[in-house]
């Protein structure tokens, strides 16, 4: 049974948004009372996740993981961690306001690389640590910031897992060399998926993977029929797609209309990972491969977190985003209250692979990037994602054609 963390909300959020979050402390009045009742020395974390727009669902899923981690961390603490949630839609303004009013020990977030670039820069200016939990764009941690740490993975890690899947599993099962495949890369031009595309193209050049078509599209696109038509004419047999969940729906709708699909699709990142896709697309999504953060296991620490999630939110986890956020927030809570400064304590954390609930370890480089995070290969089977990564114990055997 987890303890409820002390939760407050930024005051400028609407009642509809508050009720949609699923929090036990939904109204700003009761949240503020909880914060005032905390000891003055209680450390404060300010969580920034999008509350509106296309990334709100992923942001809320990550927030749920944070609340579970802080609830667990607060058990037995003399000074429980105070947790504030604020909308990341305008992160620079939000950070400036919170830094001036009541500076937290750290900011955490963000579920969006676009928002993370802005939020981390604002936190750097405020001289307050920012812990990025799940936004993967490589360049986030290459700007020389002194207040930034990222516990999650990078676009390069997603691209590496994709490349390994193609060369190690898909091509051999088709009795072809990887260089004989006809590959298309489809992506939206947002920061997260654009960064993946750049990493994927760079790795494809290094490994001589033949990307026949590279097709970018605007984030607000409403139709992918033209892109699917070009793939059909080019006789593409493997599609790598990095897009938001709504783009996944558009792509599969366009393939259904065209009466065509490639031999295999690999979806990169969280756009392919939400559980609702299985319901929305049914058998159309069956056997689609996905590279993303590790899934909840059916046994071990992640299973216990899934049970706590279900008990609190009356539903199973919607994606691995909550597990990713949980392990990041757990690392953050462990670094609070130590004798050394918070960021130094976090950077000094050293855990072997497998030590964290999702199978990650913890080993930060000089840029604050966790080098022990990694992506896994997954597949849609029977309306849900399962792990098919050969590096993961107990993984299922992959099906390499749709």
User: Quick one: pLDDT at residue 54?
Assistant: 85
Which residues on neighbouring strands pair with residue 266, listed in sequence order? 240, 289
CA-wise closest residue to 122 among 141, 144, 97: 97
Structural domains in the chain, sorted by start: 6-153+297-371 (3.40.50.2300), 156-292+377-387 (3.40.50.2300)
State the Cα–Cα distance between residues 45 and 47, nearest whole angstrom: 6
**pTM score over 0.85:** yes
User: What's the confidence (pLDDT) of residue 20?
Assistant: 32
Which one-letter DSSP state was computed for residue 168? I
Facing residues of 186 across strands? 215, 241
- What per-residue confidence (pLDDT) applies to 18? 29
Determine the 3-state secondary structure of 113 from DSSP: helix
pLDDT along the chain (402 residues), means of 10: 54 34 31 41 92 91 98 91 93 95 94 96 98 98 97 98 98 97 97 97 97 97 98 98 97 98 97 95 97 92 96 97 98 93 96 97 97 98 96 95 95
The H-assigned helical ranges of 259-356 are 276-281, 301-313, 321-335, 342-347
Report the alpha-carbon angle 259-377-190, nearest 5.
70
Could you say which DSSP state residue 49 is in?
E
pLDDT score at 101: 86
Contact 49, 62 (CB under 8 A): yes
Kindly tell me the burial class for residue 83, based on how many C-beta atoms sit within 10 Å of its own C-beta (0-12, 13-18, 19 or more).
Answer: buried
Return the pLDDT at 211. Answer: 98
Task: Give me the pLDDT at residue 78, please.
Answer: 87
* Cα–Cα dist 303/340, whole Å: 33
3-state class of 375 per DSSP? coil
374, 157 Cβ separation under 8 angstroms: yes
Contact 110, 150 (CB under 8 A): no
């Amino acid at each position: 049974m987890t303890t409820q963390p002390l939760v407050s909300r930024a005051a400028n959020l609407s009642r509809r948004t508050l009720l949609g979050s699923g929090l036990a402390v939904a109204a700003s009045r009761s949240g503020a009372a909880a914060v005032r009742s905390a000891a003055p020395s209680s450390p404060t974390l300010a969580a920034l996740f999008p509350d509106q727009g296309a990334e709100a669902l992923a942001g809320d899923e990550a927030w749920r993981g944070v609340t579970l981690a802080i609830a667990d961390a607060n058990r037995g603490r003399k000074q429980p961690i105070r947790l504030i949630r604020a909308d990341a839609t305008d992160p620079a303004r939000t950070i400036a306001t919170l830094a001036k009013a009541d500076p937290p020990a750290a900011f955490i977030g963000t579920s969006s690389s676009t928002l993370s670039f802005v939020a981390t820069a604002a936190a750097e200016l405020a001289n307050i640590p920012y812990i990025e939990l799940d936004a993967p764009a490589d360049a986030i941690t290459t700007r020389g910031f002194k207040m930034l740490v990222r516990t999650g993975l990078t676009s390069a890690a997603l691209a590496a897992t994709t490349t390994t899947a193609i060369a190690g599993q898909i091509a051999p099962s088709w009795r072809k060399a990887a260089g004989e495949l006809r590959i298309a890369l489809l992506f939206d031009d947002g920061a997260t998926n654009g960064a993946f595309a750049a990493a994927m193209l760079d790795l494809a050049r290094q490994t001589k993977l033949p990307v026949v078509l590279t097709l970018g599209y605007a984030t607000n696109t409403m139709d992918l029929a033209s892109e699917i038509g070009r793939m059909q004419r080019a006789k593409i047999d493997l599609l790598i797609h990095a897009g938001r969940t709504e783009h996944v729906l558009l792509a599969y709708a366009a393939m259904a209309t065209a009466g065509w699909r490639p031999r295999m699709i690999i979806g990169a990142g969280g756009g392919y990972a939400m559980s609702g896709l299985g319901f929305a697309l049914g058998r159309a999504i069956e056997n689609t491969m996905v590279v993303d953060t590790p899934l909840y296991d059916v046994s071990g620490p992640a299973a216990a977190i899934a049970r706590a999630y279900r008990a609190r939110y009356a539903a199973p986890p919607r994606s691995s985003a909550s597990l990713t956020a949980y392990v990041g927030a757990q690392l953050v809570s462990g670094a609070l209250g130590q004798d050394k400064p918070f960021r130094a304590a976090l950077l000094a954390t050293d855990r072997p692979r497998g030590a964290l609930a999702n199978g990650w370890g913890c080993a930060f480089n000089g840029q604050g990037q966790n080098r022990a995070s990694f992506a896994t290969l997954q597949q849609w089977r029977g309306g849900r994602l399962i792990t098919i990564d050969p590096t993961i114990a107990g993984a299922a055997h992959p099906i390499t054609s749709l």
